[in-house]
Amino acid sequence: MNEQQRLNYDRIASAIEYLKANYQAHPSLEDAAAHVHLSPFHFQRMFQDWAGVSPKQFLQFLSLEHARHLLKDQRATLLDTAVETGLSGTSRLHDLFLKIEGMTPGEYKNGGESLVIHYSFAESPFGQIIVASTAKGICHMAFADHGRDIAFAELKARFPHAEYIQLVDQAQQNALFIFGQDWSKLDKIKLHLKGSPFQIRVWETLLRVPMGGLTTYSGLAEEIGHPKAARAVGSAVGANPVAFLIPCHRVIRATGETGQYHWGAFRKEVMLGWEAAKTTATQN
């Protein structure tokens, strides 16, 4: 992402925040454009290029009404979704391409000793990320909001005894296609994760929440066969080590409110709106 692209992204983020904060006042296109110091024409075109929909349509995707409708209308269980075959647009992406391989007890216990981890930094529609991989798959992806040094330090804290090499490998490239427009070009993505059996089960279930879809903490608890463990499920969701690929941002409150997110509640809202827009465009 060059300087101009970063400036455009910052403007879009600022505009979305403005629209959310002033939704009840029904701000006009001209008001939103003025907030980010652009003409209405240029703002509309920039926003359409990023989201695929108008600012007004995007805001509708972020509304409580939209979230509640999705939760009510999703009659198929996550398991039903998982067993479907064929790629019917972006909504089946995670079912077909993502697979978790948990670390061995030895790898889990010794902090990644004997593991060689490649890592790199990249730009996404939602900000800069750090992505890391072992020979078996992606082991870490996070937003580098506080700079590369801090992002790398957080990665090292997860695997303190691993050997680190700054290198972009094929696994990382495959994973980064998730942010592109043509998902049909994705190769198979594998995840190599450090977590308890309960956490990995929750993460595996999260992978079956379709793009553009939503679930709740209680819904996840029921899917894994522990309907009274919504609080423990929430802790596992919060411990997700792979941003976006494991879509913990698709877990919301039963009321339809988006709730908190490890990498920021506002970013979560933007992700959900972006996915809703992309999925709607694919279906149309």
Q: Active-site residues: which are they?
A: 248
Sheet holding 137-143, edge to edge: 98-102, 189-193, 137-143, 127-134, 116-124, 163-166
Structure tokens at 254: 């039963």
CA distance 228 to 54: 41
The amino acid at residue 82 is A
CA 212 to chain centre: 11
Structure tokens at 77: 């269980």
Burial of 247 (0-12, 13-18, 19+ CB in 10 A): buried
CA distance 190 to 246: 11
